[in-house]
Amino acid sequence: MFTDELAGFLKDNFPLQLDEISTAVDLLIESLDAAAEAVTSRGNELLADKEYEDAIGLINKAKELDALSKKVQRYTDIFQLEDVALVSEDEVLEDIEKTLPNYSDFEVDNTVVHTLHENFVHKRPFAFELKGKKVFVTEWKRMLIETCNILADIDPNLIGKFPDNRKFNGKKTKYFTTGDPGSMRSPQKLDGIQMFVETNFSANFIRNLIIKMINHYKIPLSDYKIYLRADYTGLHKKTGLDDATTGSEPAQRDEDEQEQQVQTASDITSGCMKRVSNYLNTPMTRRSQARYQSHDKKITVICLVSSGRDTGKRTEYWFGLRVKQKAMLENSEKSYIALGCGSENKTLLVPYFRFSKWLKDMSISYSAQQISHWNITVIKDQGDFTLRLKTGCQNVNLSEYVLATQ
């Protein structure tokens, strides 16, 4: 079904879509495991009643479900995604709300009950209910934290085993820990017990994690109710039909929409580096996939490219600066970071001595409790390019670093 080549293509060009696929597969694995457990339990009951033939039939069906679960799990190895999100759902919602002229236009009925089987991308929570207790939350991470707190009150020993349970942790990072949370990107301590939980996830990933926890506690999923405060999904839907039916002239398309997205990452990198070489008036030689140097090796450029994600009103570009690349920039006499935002026509060239000052305010991805890379998010909105930093830090306008179109 999924090949390394296809997964690599999606990871390089459509990371958001691959993340959604991975989230869906994760939920499928949980459902298969829950089904296998239920069938096994029924088979054991039949064994106890000495209905051996029917029991053996059910046990064999449980084996089939378990084998299918393991087969699906192999696809998660092919995806090789970061366990923790580059940008959490709460950060995405913050950015959306900063641009809204009228927040009330997107408010929804907060008395309507939603279930754990729904899609919560671009939706703002209002509250959740579990075991008769209704908790008001405005962020998905708070929903995760407060859910954990309730489960800890029910049975602290059960949740206390999560840090050692592979089911509740990623392949590269811990979601739960009773020790030092330094390797986590956005850890939050639970009330009443010495445990930290990672919170930098998408809304649907948090939904999946809650489903796993609820199932583990043998609580019916129907007992968990979610209430929403706002829904921004309409901002991300195509409106071409509306333009065609109203008789009005379509709005002037900017260069992002006019450009055909047919270039490969290699093509974009090559075009970006031509612009960089011309700007620096120095030929640059490729030394590795992203590293370029002048002939005398006095100038180093790390060139990163991103196809971008169109949110309807703006475009977001995601990049990752790896530890080795950072070291290369620091060890060069003169160094730059080049960011190709969708095409060579949108190339940003930032001197590293300036860029390095912003790294401490960027989110970081970890692997095996060590830094893997710094997450760079550039937003293009109405012609301006902005570097997004952590919540509470002022974003940086990068427009002055855009290389002029030739």
CATH of residue 151's domain is 1.20.1380.10
CA 393 to chain centre: 20
Same structural domain, 119 and 151: yes
Same structural domain, 113 and 204: yes
5-33 residue pLDDT tens: 776 677 667 766 766 677 677 777 778 88
Q: Which H/E stretch holds residue 370?
A: strand 370-381
Same structural domain, 109 and 55: no
In a domain, residue 254? The reply is: no
Nearest alpha carbon to residue 92 among 250, 201, 223, 198: 201
Q: Report the alpha-carbon angle 242-202-163, nearest 5.
A: 165
Cβ(299)–Cβ(284) below 8 Å: yes
In a domain, residue 59? The reply is: yes
In a domain, residue 249? The reply is: no
247: tokens are 């008789």
56-90 residue pLDDT tens: 999 899 899 988 888 877 766 555 444 545 567 88
Q: Residue 226: beta bridge partners?
A: 114, 128
Same structural domain, 97 and 69: no
In a domain, residue 256? The reply is: no
Nearest alpha carbon to residue 91 among 68, 122, 57: 122
Same structural domain, 278 and 204: no
- Count of domains for the chain: 3
Bridge-based pairing of strands 334-341 and 299-306 is parallel
Tell me which of 186, 217, 232 is where a domain ends. 232
Same structural domain, 282 and 379: yes
In a domain, residue 321? The reply is: yes
Whole-angstrom distance, CA of residue 18 vs CA of residue 104:
32
H helices of 80-139, where?
Answer: 89-98
Nearest alpha carbon to residue 93 among 198, 232, 186, 205: 232
User: How high is the pLDDT of residue 82?
Assistant: 47
- Altogether, the residues listed in the chain come to a count of 406
Provide φ and ψ at 126, rounded to 5°.
-120, -40
Cβ(265)–Cβ(305) below 8 Å: yes
In a domain, residue 220? The reply is: yes
Tell me which of 57, 79, 101 is where a domain ends. 79
Same structural domain, 266 and 367: yes
Same structural domain, 165 and 286: no
Walk along the chain (406 residues) and give the pLDDT tens digit of each residue: 666 677 667 766 776 676 667 767 777 777 888 888 889 988 898 888 888 888 899 989 989 998 888 887 776 655 544 454 556 788 778 877 776 656 667 888 889 999 988 889 889 999 999 988 999 998 999 999 999 999 999 999 999 999 998 888 877 778 999 988 877 888 899 998 999 999 988 888 899 899 989 988 989 888 999 999 989 887 754 333 233 333 333 333 344 433 444 456 777 888 899 999 999 999 999 888 789 999 999 999 999 998 887 777 788 888 889 899 999 999 999 999 999 998 889 999 999 999 999 999 988 876 656 777 888 989 998 889 999 988 778 999 999 999 986 5
Whole-angstrom distance, CA of residue 222 vs CA of residue 154:
18
Q: Domain limits at 164?
A: 89-232
Whole-angstrom distance, CA of residue 24 vs CA of residue 34:
15
Same structural domain, 227 and 93: yes
Same structural domain, 349 and 300: yes
User: How high is the pLDDT of residue 2?
Assistant: 64
DSSP 63: H
Give Cβ neighbours of residue 235 (< 8 Å, ≥ 6 apart): 96, 106, 122, 311, 312, 313
In a domain, residue 388? The reply is: yes
C-alpha pair distances (Å), 52 with each of 43, 45, 57, 59, 62: 9, 10, 9, 10, 15
Same structural domain, 356 and 321: yes
Tell me which of 59, 79, 99 is where a domain ends. 79
Ramachandran sector of residue 357 (left: φ over 0; alpha: ψ -120 to 50; beta: rest): alpha
Cβ(403)–Cβ(347) below 8 Å: yes
C-alpha pair distances (Å), 105 with each of 109, 229, 313: 12, 11, 16
Nearest alpha carbon to residue 130 among 144, 109, 110: 144
In a domain, residue 406? The reply is: no
95: tokens are 């950015």
- Neighbouring CB atoms inside 10 A of 55's CB total 18
Cβ(185)–Cβ(199) below 8 Å: no
Ramachandran sector of residue 281 (left: φ over 0; alpha: ψ -120 to 50; beta: rest): left
Same structural domain, 286 and 195: no
239: tokens are 């409106």
